[in-house]
Structure 1
Amino acid sequence: MKTKLTSLLKQVFPSSYTELAVFMFFLLCYGILGTYIALHYRIIFDSRIPWDAYFSFDNKAIVMTGGSFERHPLAYYFFNWVREFSLFVSGGKMDATFRLTLAWLSNIAISLCIVQIFKYLKNIIRLPLKISLLIILFFGFCSTNIILSFTPENFTYTLLLLCIYNYYAAIKLSKEGKIPGSALTLAGITIGGLTITNLAKVFIPVLFEKNVFRSWKKFRNAVFRVVITTVCFVFLYLLRIDFEYKNIFSKTNQQYEKFSNVESIPDWDMMLSYFFGGSILFPSFITTDKHNMKGFNFKGLLMEPYSSSFCYAFIIILLVLILWSYFKNFRNKLVQIIAFSFLFDIVIHCIMRFGLHTSYIYGGHFIFVYPLLLGWLFYAYRSKPKISSFLMVTMVILFSFLLTNNIFRMSDFFQFLNTYYQ
C-alpha cells in the first residue's frame, strides 16, 4: 500500500528538478494572473452572478452546487470540499480572500496538469528536453489553460484528472500491463463524476490492453472491470438523486435541446473558431447583456468567430500536424487511445452539435490531445533531422503567434474587467 501511494504521489507531483522547474514556472505565471484578478475584480466569484459572466462558465453555480446533476453527477461532493476549504481560509466570508483561494486551487490544478503532459512527453514518448519544453510552452499558453488557471469550474479539475489518467494508462500499456480494477473504478467515479460524458474515455485504454480480444480470459477480466466500474458509478449517481432516475432523461433532453439548436453561425465556422480553435487561440470577444433571473442585470463576455485569416491558417496548420501525427503513428496503440478520446468529443460537439456555439468552454475535455499528438509527431521523425528541424521551426512560429495573440486578447479581457467588474 505504501509503495502504491508513493508511486501515485510521484506520478501526480513533480519528481525531478526539471519537472519542479516546469511546475514552478507555470505556478508563478498563472499565480500572478489569478492573484491580480481575484484581488482587484469580482468576476471569479460574485454571489449575484450564477453563470455566463465570461465565456459561459458557471463559476458561482459550480462552486455552490457542483453544477447540474445530469451532466456533473458527483461534482456536488467535490465542490463542497473546495467551497468549505475556501471559506475556511477566508474566515467564512465570500470576499477577495475567498476568490483568491479558488483561483489558487485552479492554478495548482492546471500547473499539475502541465506537469503530467511534460512527464508523458519525457517518460513515455522520450522526446529531447528542448522539444518537450517547446510543446509544454505551447500547451501552457493555450487559451483554455490560461482561463482555467483562475476559474473554479468542472473543466479545470476534469482536465487534470484526464491528464493524470492518460499518463497512468500510458505507463501501464507501455509495459504490456493492464489497468487494475481499482484504478479503473477510481477514474470512472472521479472523471465521470465531474462530467458524465467523460466516463467513456476511462474505458478506452482497456480496449488496447495486450491480447484483450485474443484471449477469453483477458476479455472476461476486462469486461468484469468495466462492469464493476459502471455499477459503482451508476449506484453513486442514483444515490445522489435519491434514485429518481426519470429526472436524468428529462433533464438531459432539455439540456440537449437548449444547447444544440443554434443557427446564427455556420457549423464549419463554429468548429474551426470554437471547437478546434477557441480552446487554443483566442478569437475576438463580444460583450452581451445578461441577467440572473432574479432582477440583477450584468455584462457577459463571449467569443466571436475568427475575423483574421491568420487565425484560420494557424488552426488549419495545427490540425494538419495533428492528422499527420495520427496517420504516421497509426499502429501505435497509445496514439489510438488519444485519438479515440478526441473523436468522442468531436462526435458530441461537432456531429451531435451539443454546445457547438460555445464549444470553446469544453477545451478542458480534450485540449491535452494537442501536445501529446504533437509529441508523437516529433517522435516519428526522431531519426530524420531535416523533418525534425522543419517541425521545430513550424512549432516556434505557431507558438510565437499563439503567445502574441493570446496576450493581446487577454488585454481585451482586462478592459472588460475594468469596465464592469471592479
Structure 2
Amino acid sequence: MVIYGYLGSYIAIHHKIIFDARIPWDAYFSFDNKSIVMTGGSFERHPLSYYFFNWIRELALLFSDGKMDGNFRFALAWFSNLAVSLSVLQVFKYLKNIIGLPLILSLLLILFFGSFSTTILLSFTPENFTYTLFLLTFFNHYSAIKLKKEEKIPTLALALSGITIGGLTVTNIIKVFIPVAFEKGLFKSWKKFENAVFRGIFTCICFILLYLNRIDFKYQNIFSKTNEQYEKFSNVKSTPTWDMILSYFFGGNMLFSNFILRDKNNMKGYEYKGIVMDVYSSWVPYYFIAVLLALIFWSYLKNFKNKLVQVLMISFLFDIGIHCIMRFGLHTSYIYGGHFAFVYPLLLGWLFYSYKESPKMLSFLAVIFCILFSYLLTNNYLRMNEFFWFLNQYY
C-alpha cells in the first residue's frame, strides 16, 4: 500500500493522465479511464459495472467537493491502490495458508507478483480489471479454503461471487463454477450433484435477471453489441499471432515491453498523445516468458492430481481460449492481466511445495526464480522511467 500509494498519489497530484474529462480512452496502454469512471464501460462486456462505478465516482466526488480535479484523481488512485494491495494480500494468504509455504518464499513470490506490469498499472488505474483482480484473488482463496476443508460453497456465496465477478467482466462468471466441479463426492452422489446444479442455476438466474434489468430487457442488444465488439477486437493483422500471444498475453502482464507513442483524437476535436506497448525487441524477454511458462507447466504436471491446482489451471486455460484461440483483444491482452496474472505466483508456489523434501531441487528452483525476479525488477523499473518521461512531456 505504501509503494503503490506513493506511486498513485504522485501521478494523481502532478499529472492528469488518471482522469482527464477530455480524454475518453487510450491515453495509456488502452485503458478507458474516463469512460469506465463515468459509465462503467460497455454493458455487453461489463454488464453491472455501471452501478459499481457510480459508487466509486460519487465517493471520489465527495472527497473532491464535487470537482473532477487533482483530489478527484487522488481518490480514484487510492481506490485502485486498495483493491490491488488487497489482491496481493489474498495471494499471500493463499501461499501461506493454503499451500503452506515458508514465510520467506511467500514474501518473495508476492514481491514478484507485486512487480508485474499489470499490478503496477492497475494500482493507480480506475478500471474494471483493477477490481476484477481483487474479486478473483479473493474468490480463489475462499474457494480453496472450502475445497481444502472438503466443504461446498454455499448458494448465496456462489451467487454473490457470480454477480460481482461476472458483473464486472461477463466471461469471468464461468470461473466461479470451476471450484464447484471439484467438490468432494460431487459425481458419486446424486444428492450432491443436484445441489450443485441448483446452486449453479440459482446463480445464473440472479445474474441474468440483473443483467436484463440493466438493459431494460432488450436482450437483442446483447448479441448485436457482442458481435460488434468481437469483430472490432479480434481482427488485427499487423503483428504475427505468435508474437502477440507471447508479447501481449503471456508477457505483457508481467514485463513491460517497448513503448510506442500514437496520435489520438477524442472525436470532438481534441488531440492528445497515447502510449501503447509494442512486441519485445530483444530475445531476453522471450526467454523469460519461455522459462516461466516451463515452470508453470512443470508445476501443473507435478501437481496434476491436486484439485486446487486443477482449478487454477482450468481458469487460466479459459483465458487462453478467449484471447489466444478466439483472438478476442489479443493485440491489447496485456490489459486483461487482472483476470489471470495471479495464477503465476500461485502455481510457482505449488511447484516449490512439491519439492519441499528435496533441498537440491528447491535450491535449483530458487536460483532460477531469483534470476527471473531480478530481470523483472530491472526491466520494469527502466520502463516505468520511460512512462514518467511520457507523463512529464504530455500530461
TM range (shorter): over 0.9
Describe how 1:197-212 pairs up with structure 2 within 5 A.
197-212=171-186
**Selected match of 2:368 from 385, 388, 394:** 394
Aligned residues: 395
- Cα distance, 1:295 vs. partner? 1.2
Aligned equivalents of 2:38, 2:332: Cα separation in 1: 23
Aligned equivalents of 1:118, 1:71: Cα separation in 2: 29
- The aligned residue for residue 377 of structure 1 is 351
**Selected match of 1:188 from 145, 162, 187:** 162
- The aligned residue for residue 380 of structure 2 is 406
- The aligned residue for residue 58 of structure 1 is 32
**Selected match of 2:315 from 321, 332, 341:** 341
Describe how 1:185-264 pairs up with structure 2 within 5 A.
185-264=159-238
Aligned equivalents of 1:247, 1:291: Cα separation in 2: 27
- The aligned residue for residue 139 of structure 1 is 113
- Cα distance, 1:47 vs. partner? 0.3
**Selected match of 1:44 from 18, 22, 45:** 18
Aligned equivalents of 1:40, 1:100: Cα separation in 2: 10
- The aligned residue for residue 162 of structure 1 is 136
- Mapped pair 1:302 → 2:276: yes
Q: Deviations over 1:295-334 (max 9, x none)?
A: 1111111101011111111111000000000010000000
- Cα distance, 1:337 vs. partner? 0.2
Aligned equivalents of 2:262, 2:296: Cα separation in 1: 34
Query: TM-score, with normalisation over the residues of structure 2?
Result: 1.00
Question: Percent same amino acid at aligned positions?
Answer: 70
Q: Deviations over 1:342-396 (max 9, x none)?
A: 0010000000000001110000100010010000000100000000011111111
Q: Which runs of 5+ in 1 are unaligned?
A: 1-26
Describe how 1:107-146 pairs up with structure 2 within 5 A.
107-146=81-120
Query: TM-score, with normalisation over the residues of structure 1?
Result: 0.93
Q: Which runs of 5+ in 2 are unaligned?
A: none
- The aligned residue for residue 14 of structure 1 is none
- Mapped pair 1:312 → 2:286: yes
Aligned amino acid, residue 404 of structure 1? T
- Cα distance, 1:260 vs. partner? 0.2
Aligned equivalents of 2:307, 2:267: Cα separation in 1: 49
- The aligned residue for residue 287 of structure 1 is 261
Aligned amino acid, residue 355 of structure 1? G
Q: Deviations over 1:47-67 (max 9, x none)?
A: 011110000000000000000
Aligned equivalents of 2:339, 2:220: Cα separation in 1: 27
Aligned amino acid, residue 354 of structure 2? A
Aligned amino acid, residue 9 of structure 2? T
- Cα distance, 1:153 vs. partner? 0.2
Aligned equivalents of 1:317, 1:327: Cα separation in 2: 15
- Mapped pair 1:29 → 2:3: yes
For 1:49, what is the secondary structure of its paired residue?
Answer: coil
Aligned equivalents of 1:52, 1:292: Cα separation in 2: 10
- Cα distance, 1:246 vs. partner? 0.2
Aligned amino acid, residue 288 of structure 1? R
- Mapped pair 1:354 → 2:338: no
Q: Deviations over 1:156-201 (max 9, x none)?
A: 0000000000000000000111111010000000000000000000
Aligned amino acid, residue 230 of structure 2? Y
Aligned equivalents of 2:151, 2:365: Cα separation in 1: 32
Aligned equivalents of 2:19, 2:147: Cα separation in 1: 41
For 2:206, what is the secondary structure of its paired residue?
Answer: helix
For 1:127, what is the secondary structure of its paired residue?
Answer: coil
For 2:178, what is the secondary structure of its paired residue?
Answer: helix
Aligned equivalents of 1:97, 1:395: Cα separation in 2: 40
Q: Deviations over 1:271-302 (max 9, x none)?
A: 00000000001101000111111111111111
Aligned amino acid, residue 25 of structure 2? W
Structure 1 residue ranges, 4+ long, deviating more than 4 angstroms after superposition: none
